[in-house]
Chain A
């Protein structure tokens, strides 16, 4: 059982004054059988009043607005999360060849997680990965999905900046490279083409500790704690997590924030504002274990983000047309 303290701060700087800014964020970690969100709060600068709700996928959404002119916007989400030891997931060993019989039924129950999306079109290239995974697996559905995740991990290179936030899988398929968002999207595409429901998971990946930094992990996700992976639905077993970026199943270091059909459903921050100003975005995530394995408080903070690296490629906010 691990307890984490997370501080996710998002900052927009505008070239000129903007006003009437409306934002919607998905930053609150989930609270369910394998993860408890012990506390959550959100602060903005300039200050704002907000409302919250659960969306159709069960995610927590916070909305807020800032009317007067401003030149910067900072959104700070702070949470304490308890990650439980996940029970061993039982898979019933259903054969991949039996899947065809369940296809209609799965589509009827989970159309949203089977149908193609803007980020995950059902491209023919995906079949090649799917066929290879079917060959590599042990003939079961479970074997197939793990093989698919592993294949993607092996074949694609993690390269920061290889794609951008609006890239569909077309970009990473042609470059052979991408970031965790692309790895997850490709896995979704491969298994969905076989008729398996699969959903996108956004969240955080926590490095094990500052004392024993897992160099490989840090390298793999480029030093960022924000992460994305996938869950696949196995008939009569349930949702199975897969992390094609890491090439290993999600565990205690994975903190889930939101589910969706693809990235478009779970974008952490989305907004519109009035004004013609351009913007620069920087995102910073600080994670530290709140309690260590012996139950002692951890007081030193591990910064998982190199200081002041602005991510300019992301254009989460879309400027609305000025109305006057």
Chain B
């Protein structure tokens, strides 16, 4: 398989996942805010901008974060490289460069998602609220997963898609948790107890609200939420689950069995998973959640770079 095709598959999946994740967070936050008082708006909206890593760009265009501004910025802005519209555009662009490789259905699907997204009128949607738009993105992403799963041979190309999907998901979840806790600790004293809503929103945005109740049978506690999102073995949006998928993908490509590694990306993935398996949430909080997640994000970054070094841009030596 051509390196460029592998790379395009990897990024195709990452962009779709980023679009879906952003849509989820936007949607849930918006609805949580409906039940909030005005002075708490900022608390809800700031983390989203921070998460997207686009704080500076946002401040330049909007200044204060409110629902309208954040929605427009994260969903539609052409000059925000992480906006949903931009992600879908880039996903389609990647698909277009490999449309001879992917199935006809996959291409038709991503193509129609692209046209759907572009048919939305930002002004109308902002008036109507983000639900309709975000729902279309989430549905589009799910459908694309399904079409891919059902029409693309599960060969090494499929593994690159899987790796792209889950490394993006692991990073997004890590950022989500990190940013939310950051806000929590930075918040003025006296409001932490009332932050149930914020945590509920976090759980809902990753579709883990019901699963949380099933597992913990308790009210929403920040530590448990973090534990669930970081270390749950089977919830499809936890960092641990995502990294397990990345590991299986990498091993399928290189043919490496458990207990060894074929490249730096596999070694780092193994190391991350060891920690996620044996660390306890109380230890993590003692050491500092932020530095823990920060390290995790850095390792994900290194894994991505090393995948590129091993498979996309290796040094050519004759």
- Residues of A bordering B, CB below 8 Å: 19-20, 67-69, 324
Nearest residue in A to B316 (C-beta to C-beta)?
A: A67
Q: How far is the CA of A87 from the CA of B70 in the complex (A)?
A: 88
Task: Chain A residues near B317: list those with CB within 8 A.
Answer: 67-68
Q: Which of B260-318 contact A (CB under 8 A)?
A: 313, 315-318
In the complex, the answer to whether B313 meets A324 with C-beta atoms within 8 Å is: yes
What are 10 contact pairs spanning A and B, CB under 8 A? A19-B316, A20-B316, A67-B316, A67-B317, A67-B318, A68-B315, A68-B316, A68-B317, A69-B315, A324-B313
Sort A-B residue pairs by CB-CB distance and give the 8 closest, nearest first: A67-B316, A67-B318, A68-B317, A324-B313, A67-B317, A68-B315, A20-B316, A68-B316
Interface size classification for chain B: under 10
Bound form: Cα–Cα A324–B313 in Å:
9
The answer for the CA separation of A67 and B318 in the assembled complex, in Å, is: 8
Interface of B is mostly: loop
The CA of A69 and the CA of B318, in the complex, are separated in Å by 12
Q: Closest CB of chain B to A48's CB: distance in Å?
A: 10
A residues less than 8 Å from B313 (CB atoms): 324
**Chain B residues within an 8 Å CB radius of A324:** 313
B144-187, CB < 8 A from A: none
Nearest-CB residue, chain A, relative to B318: A67
Instruction: State how many angstroms separate the Cβ of B77 from the closest Cβ of chain A.
Output: 27
Roughly how many angstroms separate A19 CA and B314 CA in the complex, as a whole number? 13
Interface 1/0s, chain B 108-122, versus A by CB < 8 A? 000000000000000
Q: How far is the CB of B308 from chain A (nearest CB, A)?
A: 10
Whole-angstrom CA separation of A67 from B317 in the bound complex: 7
A67: chain B residues within 8 A (beta carbon): 316-318
Nearest B-chain residue to A65, judged by Cβ: B318
Tell me the bound Cα distance from A112 to B316 in angstroms. 41
Given contacts A67-B317, A69-B315, 8 further A-B contacts (CB under 8 A): A19-B316, A20-B316, A67-B316, A67-B318, A68-B315, A68-B316, A68-B317, A324-B313
* Minimal Cβ-Cβ distance residue in A for B312: A324
Residues of A within 8 A of B315 (CB): 68-69
Q: Which residues of B contact A68 (CB under 8 A)?
A: 315-317
Q: How far is the CB of B228 from the nearest CB of chain A, in Å?
A: 40
> Which single residue of chain B is at the shortest CB-CB distance from A68?
B317
- CB closest residue in chain A, given B317: A68
Give B123 Cβ to nearest chain A Cβ, in Å: 39
Q: Write the chain B residue with the least CB distance to A49.
A: B318
